[in-house]
């Protein structure tokens, strides 16, 4: 005797007479990963049935029975007691099946009146993503605030600034921290813009053509906390731009976290010795007992590629889909959910790293060398009226002269030697060779002077 499930037992099975290939059932099912949206699905159904009652398609007693059943299902999911059964293709099917078991199929069968899984899943995903991004927004704000507080506390520490990974000019450690706080604040602001675009309701759009019973879509949107319904029913069921935007935002944030991590990995090497991660964020070697490896930072750097892969994979799935809903769109969930989880964990780890990081002020300031003040030497002559293009060459001649004389730095040239290169050098040239003075001269907006860095940090705090 055949044990295959007849197609008519499925939500969509009325048109079908043959059994489905068991592998197709497995291939088609999304419950293993979309059940994380159980709460969004139940909330959407609760508000939708209120909309049905409002237009007379449910009685008050039916609505009360449905809502009671939905809350019992919610409690089962929350307690881990919900029993999944064969035939539960997705979270919508599973919840509706269970509702029928609890309150009877006659009443439960009215829940889907005028609704399609097309607008249902689009609604569930927007609710789920909105809540996930609001949570990430809070975590990201804490991360940024942690960086800002650290920058304010360690404002007096100087270090080399780098271009091409070569020592360039002296900066404040806080200026480096402020740089990444600026990146992450831009990410935070970008997230608020994405949240506003996500917060539109597809519910009531039906399969694609709209609702046949005149349901109040504004009422549904308001009940679910959306700002408005999506204005076109075709777009409402098929739009996944919010998924792409979320994945793009996640990719860009992780790119910033990766660069932040790379800097700290370099600064933590014995060759630099500027920073040291707390043991909570380090691991050891299975062979070399002396090793402390910055695995937390390396994983942050590596997982940026994982998140980008989610974006690249989904956008390829989406690029050639014809209008309205197609099953390809089921490929939106796994990359999205994985990316959101990865980003959440990454922000929390990065916050832990930066809040417990130790810095070595002596090593940072000990890495400053006088050749890094070559531009300051050129600026010295600019202040005496010499064109910068000319002073650049003069300063270069001074650097070369110090090297030829095997001096430890350009500050070791005598006044006479400076004046042999250019007669406009005076006794005050020695004032150039002061790292703190060099940093403080760069006090324009965005610079590395103490006042400029504090201004940056205050602006970031106000932005948040």
Q: Which residues contact 297 (CB under 8 A, 6 or more apart)?
A: 261, 262, 264, 265, 268, 277, 281, 353
Catalytic positions are 164, 285
Q: Which of 153, 143, 147, 73 is nearest to 108 (CA)?
A: 73
Q: CA distances (Å), 331 to each of 28, 72, 119, 246, 313, in order?
A: 11, 30, 16, 15, 9
Q: Is 284 left (phi over 0), alpha (psi -120 to 50) or beta?
A: beta
Q: What is the sign of the dihedral through the CA atoms of 30, 31, 32 and 36?
A: positive
The Cα–Cα gap between 311 and 343 comes to: 13
* Number of neighbours of residue 358 by Cβ within 10 angstroms: 10
Q: Which of 126, 110, 116, 92 is nearest to 209 (CA)?
A: 116
Task: Give the pair of three-digit tokens for residue 408.
Answer: 């430890």
Task: Give the pair of three-digit tokens for residue 244.
Answer: 């792409």
CB-based contact 448:368 (threshold 8 Å): no
Q: Which of 137, 132, 108 is nearest to 37 (CA)?
A: 132
* Number of neighbours of residue 127 by Cβ within 10 angstroms: 23
* Number of neighbours of residue 271 by Cβ within 10 angstroms: 7
Q: CA distances (Å), 222 to each of 128, 201, 235, 433, in order?
A: 16, 9, 19, 65
CB-based contact 443:449 (threshold 8 Å): yes
What is residue 301's DSSP assignment?
H
Q: Which of 144, 115, 130, 116 is nearest to 40 (CA)?
A: 130
Map tokens 């940024």 to a residue: 144
The Cα–Cα gap between 12 and 92 comes to: 13
The three-class DSSP label of residue 414 is: coil
């Amino acid at each position: 005797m055949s044990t295959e499930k007849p197609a008519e037992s499925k939500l969509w099975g009325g048109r079908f007479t043959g059994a489905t290939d068991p592998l197709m059932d497995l291939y088609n099912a999304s419950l293993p990963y979309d059940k994380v949206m159980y709460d969004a699905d139940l909330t959407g159904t609760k508000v939708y049935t209120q909309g049905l009652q409002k237009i007379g398609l449910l009685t008050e007693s039916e609505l009360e029975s449905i809502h009671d059943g939905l809350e019992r299902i919610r409690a089962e999911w929350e307690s881990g007691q919900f029993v999944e059964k064969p035939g539960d293709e997705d979270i919508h099917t599973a919840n509706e099946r269970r509702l029928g078991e609890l309150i009877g199929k006659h009443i439960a069968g009215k829940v889907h009146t005028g609704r399609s899984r097309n607008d249902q899943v689009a609604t569930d995903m927007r609710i789920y993503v909105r809540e996930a991004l609001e949570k990430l927004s809070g975590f990201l704000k804490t991360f940024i605030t942690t960086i800002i507080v650290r920058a304010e506390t360690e404002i007096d520490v100087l270090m080399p600034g780098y271009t091409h990974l070569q020592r360039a000019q002296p900066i404040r450690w806080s200026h480096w921290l402020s740089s990444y706080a600026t990146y992450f604040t831009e990410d935070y602001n970008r997230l608020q813009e994405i949240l506003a675009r996500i917060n539109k309701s597809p519910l009531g759009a039906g399969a694609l053509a709209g609702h046949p019973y005149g349901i109040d879509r504004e009422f549904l949107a308001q009940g679910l906390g959306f700002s408005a319904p999506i204005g076109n029913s075709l777009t409402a069921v098929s739009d996944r731009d919010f998924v792409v935007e979320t994945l793009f935002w996640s990719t860009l944030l992780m790119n910033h976290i990766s660069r932040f991590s790379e800097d700290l990995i370099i600064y933590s090497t014995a060759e630099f010795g500027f920073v040291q991660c707390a043991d909570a964020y380090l691991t050891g070697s299975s062979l070399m007992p002396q090793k402390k490896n910055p695995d937390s930072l390396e994983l942050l750097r590596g997982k940026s590629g994982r998140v980008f892969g989610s974006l690249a994979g989904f956008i390829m799935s989406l690029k050639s889909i014809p209008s309205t809903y197609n099953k390809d769109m089921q490929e939106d969930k796994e990359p999205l959910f994985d990316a959101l989880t990865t980003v959440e964990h990454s922000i929390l780890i990065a916050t832990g790293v930066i809040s417990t990081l130790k810095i070595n002020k002596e090593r940072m300031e000990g890495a400053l060398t006088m050749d890094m003040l070559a531009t300051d030497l050129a600026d010295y002559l600019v202040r005496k009226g010499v064109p910068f293009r000319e002073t650049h060459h003069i300063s270069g001649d001074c650097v070369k002269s110090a090297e030829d004389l095997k001096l430890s730095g350009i500050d070791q040239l005598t006044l006479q030697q400076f004046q042999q290169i250019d007669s406009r050098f005076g006794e005050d040239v020695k004032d150039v060779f002061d790292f703190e003075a060099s940093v403080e001269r760069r006090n324009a907006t965005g610079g590395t002077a103490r006042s400029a860095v504090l201004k940056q940090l205050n602006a970031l705090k106000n932005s948040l």
